């Protein structure tokens, strides 16, 4: 199976590290023109320089945007779509702060909603008209296993990502007639900066070493290891291709079998 995304334009959120970087790299390897989006311009420049270029017509670029500042983000993303079209949209943001349900107040949930839901809604709403016009589009939401089984100490993510899933399933049914697909990936434990930060928080809260926490996480996974960002990119590249043209409205666990043991 040869995935060819030549002449397709992809926009990838949180693309300078971890899962986002893995996705961007694989889409570029398949020939897509990739726009990297993140809040740190220095990291964006470095990531852009590292992206594969496999043909002379392939062009990559970056967009500086802070998902945590929704009012500013709205302006930036609207300006981007004035001059750019997107065939493949990967909705991926940094995660909200860790914490329990009793730790949070209504303002914390509003902040998480702005970060995880409103940015996804806004970007998708801007990308859809051209996808519908072209009768071709791929929207892929980076989600979490927490929509199936809430993860302890991540209540903001648990609640808000579930809202994104319900919205995207409803939307997928409405745009399917236009040959636009919308799918979600339920992310397990991957070897990223994010998981290292969460492990550090858990270590401090419970006075357990980070190495012990990591080992416990790996032992729960049937494959006994964390996922690799490039493995995530492989699934996204497939979902973005014509091979996945009849696959929409789904939520696919990518977790080394972890969901099956909850």
Tell me the pLDDT tens digit for each residue of 23-81: 999 999 999 999 999 999 999 999 999 999 999 999 999 999 999 999 999 999 999 99
* Unique residue bearing structure tokens 């996945």: 244
Torsion (CA) 220, 225, 226, 230 in degrees, nearest 10: -140
**Residue 260 confidence (pLDDT) above 70:** no
Whether residue 206 lies inside any domain: the answer is no
Give the N- to C-terminal CA distance of the chain in Å, as an integer: 33
Cβ within 8 Å of residue 206, ≥6 positions away? none
- Which CATH number goes with the domain that contains 14? 3.40.50.720
Give residue 98's pLDDT band: very low, low, confident or very high (50, 70, 90): confident
* Structure token pair of residue 163: 């809202």
DSSP 8-state symbol, 135:
T
Instruction: Report the distance separating Cα 192 and Cα 252, nearest Å.
Output: 20
pLDDT digits (tens, 9 = 90+) for 168-199: 999 999 999 999 999 999 999 999 888 888 88
Domain span including residue 158: 9-190+228-261
The count of domains in the chain is 1
DSSP 8-state symbol, 54:
-
Whether residue 182 lies inside any domain: the answer is yes
How far apart, in Å, are the Cα atoms of 165 and each of 113, 143, 147, 183? 13, 8, 8, 9
Residues 20 and 48: beta-carbon distance below 8 Å: no
Instruction: Report the distance separating Cα 174 and Cα 169, nearest Å.
Output: 9
């Amino acid at each position: 199976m040869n995935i060819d995304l030549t002449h397709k334009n992809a926009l990838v959120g949180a693309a300078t590290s971890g899962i986002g970087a893995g996705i961007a790299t694989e889409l570029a390897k398949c020939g897509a023109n990739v726009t990297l989006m993140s809040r740190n311009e220095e990291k964006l420049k470095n990531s852009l320089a590292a992206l594969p270029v496999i043909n002379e017509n392939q062009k990559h670029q970056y967009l500086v945007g802070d998902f945590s500042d929704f009012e500013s983000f709205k302006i930036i993303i609207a300006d981007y779509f004035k001059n750019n079209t997107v065939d493949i949209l990967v909705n991926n943001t940094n995660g909200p702060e860790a914490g329990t349900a009793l730790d949070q107040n209504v303002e914390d949930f509003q902040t998480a909603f702005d970060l995880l839901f409103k940015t996804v809604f806004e970007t998708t709403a801007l990308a859809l008209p051209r996808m519908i016009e072209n009768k071709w589009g791929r929207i892929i939401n980076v989600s979490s296993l927490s929509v199936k089984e809430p993860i302890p100490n991540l209540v903001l993510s648990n609640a808000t990502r579930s809202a994104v899933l319900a919205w995207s399933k409803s939307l997928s049914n409405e745009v399917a007639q236009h040959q636009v697909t919308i799918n979600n990936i339920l992310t397990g434990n991957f070897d990223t900066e994010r998981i290292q930060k969460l492990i550090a928080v858990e270590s401090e809260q419970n006075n357990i070493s980070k190495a012990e926490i990591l080992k416990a996480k790996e032992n729960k996974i049937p494959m006994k290891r964390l996922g690799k960002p490039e493995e995530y990119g492989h699934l996204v590249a497939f979902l973005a291709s014509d091979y996945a043209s009849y696959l929409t409205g789904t939520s696919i666990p990518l977790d080394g079998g972890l969901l099956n043991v909850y």
